[in-house]
Amino acid sequence: MDFLPFTRPSIDEDTISRVGEVLRSGWITTGPKCRELEAALSGFVGGRPVRVVSSATAALEMALRVAGIGPGDEVITCPMSWVATANVILAVGATPVFVDADAATRNIDLDRIEAAITPRTRALIPVDLAGLPVDRDRLYALAGRHGLRVIEDAAQSMGSLWKGERIGCRGDLVSFSFHANKNMTSGEGGCLVLNNEDEARLFEKLRLQGVTRSADGGMDVDVLGGKANMTDIAAVIGLGQLARLPAFNQRRRELARRYFDEFPRDLGFDLPLTDFDHSNWHMFQPLLPLDAMRVGRGDFIAAMKEEGIGVGVHYPAMHLFTLFRGRGFAEGDFPVAEDIGRRTVTLPLFPAMSDDDVSRVCATTRRVLNSVLK
């Protein structure tokens, strides 16, 4: 039987031939396709300004710069995320302050944020893990009460909904990723939704060496920018993907429902919330019943692979990485994130999967787990 990876992008032949057209056009870096993708993304989020970049990591870092956050400032986020979320806080010279995850949503525990706010706190970076949105009403009420900026790390929640409205349509700065594993991809890439044209112009400068060009062919540099522009090669892939995103996410929801119908719940796994109204089902992640197992997670993953099924880990709690331990974080600081980080496994979920693939994953999971229970 074919190996089933935990994810795989769906790129159609039309998109592949459009990449060929860009390559033949003589203009392969930032150009008309990037502008077309920005316009399409803006349409997707209700007309707000959107700018594309080479990664969501770049988008998040420059979002912090747009918000004027730097040395001496504290930024609150959750240790249950891809490490990019906190790396960007360090990159601008600010201090990451972690707040533990909520065991039910696996997102930042909104009840614990207030206790972490100090006079130096400037912003919140919530993460929509696996595509399940953080409660936007509570989040923005809290940010408003304390005068904090919000930089939404919506890398995983493109097309997720909050009360019927797409993530990105409302809020402060919102970052999406088009990494190969995300619900839509441009190979590598990302974008930032901004509040107004002034912010968008600053962001444009930051993404390309701080340069502003004038109509007479002159240029000036008045701010230190980096190098994070997207290519038209990537943008044309993004355009093909954005057109199919609603269908992709619909298929992901169907597959997730099937997982909940067929999953061996009796074996002691903790399943994610069944939130079909909000999540784009970026990932399906049960938590292993490690205490009932004779082997560790690595052995479970190896046994699944042996049976032809790819399993990922997203993510170990990031405060336990050496970089963050070096900043004083330790085991026991955030027990919920640590528990998720130890037990989580990402099972295959991507739009090209068949219903039978889900059944096969569920049956294999049952067989493999049964063989390693105490």
Ligand X SMILES: *Cc1c(COP(=O)(O)O)cnc(C)c1O
CB nearer to ligand X: pick between 55 and 160: 55
DSSP 12-76: -HHHHHHHHHHHHHT--SSSHHHHHHHHHHHHHTTT--EEEES-HHHHHHHHHHHTT--TT-EEE
| Degrees to nearest 5, angle at CA 326 with 321 and 329 | 70
Q: Is 192 in the site for ligand X (CB under 6 A)?
A: no
Q: Which amino acid is at 162?
A: W
Q: Is 77 in the site for ligand X (CB under 6 A)?
A: no
User: What is the rounded distance in angstroms from the CA atom of residue 19 to the CA atom of residue 38?
Assistant: 17
Contacting ligand X within 288-347 (CB under 6 A): none
Closest CA to 266 of 362, 348, 130, 337: 362
Q: Which stretch binds ligand X (CB under 6 A): 18-26, 78-86, 219-227, 302-310?
A: 78-86
Shortest approach of ligand X to residue 177 CB, angstroms? 4
Q: Is 82 in the site for ligand X (CB under 6 A)?
A: yes
- From the candidates 33, 163, 182, 374, which is the catalytic residue? 182
Q: Is 84 in the site for ligand X (CB under 6 A)?
A: yes
Shortest approach of ligand X to residue 73 CB, angstroms? 20
CB nearer to ligand X: pick between 230 and 303: 230
Q: What is the DSSP letter of 286?
A: P
Shortest approach of ligand X to residue 292 CB, angstroms? 30
Shortest approach of ligand X to residue 186 CB, angstroms? 9
DSSP 107-129: SB-HHHHHHH--TTEEEEE-B-G
Shortest approach of ligand X to residue 77 CB, angstroms? 10
Q: Is 55 in the site for ligand X (CB under 6 A)?
A: yes
Pull the structure tokens for residue 128: 């929509």
Q: Identify whether 259 is preceded by a cis peptide bond (ω within 30 of 0).
A: no
What is the dihedral angle through the alpha carbons of 295, 297, 299, 300, rounded to the nearest 10 degrees?
Answer: 100
Closest CA to 372 of 263, 287, 291, 293: 293
Residue from the set 127, 167, 303, 369 that interacts with ligand X by CB under 6 A: 127
Q: Is 163 a catalytic residue?
A: no
Q: Is 121 in the site for ligand X (CB under 6 A)?
A: no
CB nearer to ligand X: pick between 154 and 369: 154
| Interface with ligand X (CB under 6 A) | 55-57, 81-82, 84-85, 127, 153, 155-156, 177, 179, 190
Active site residues: 182
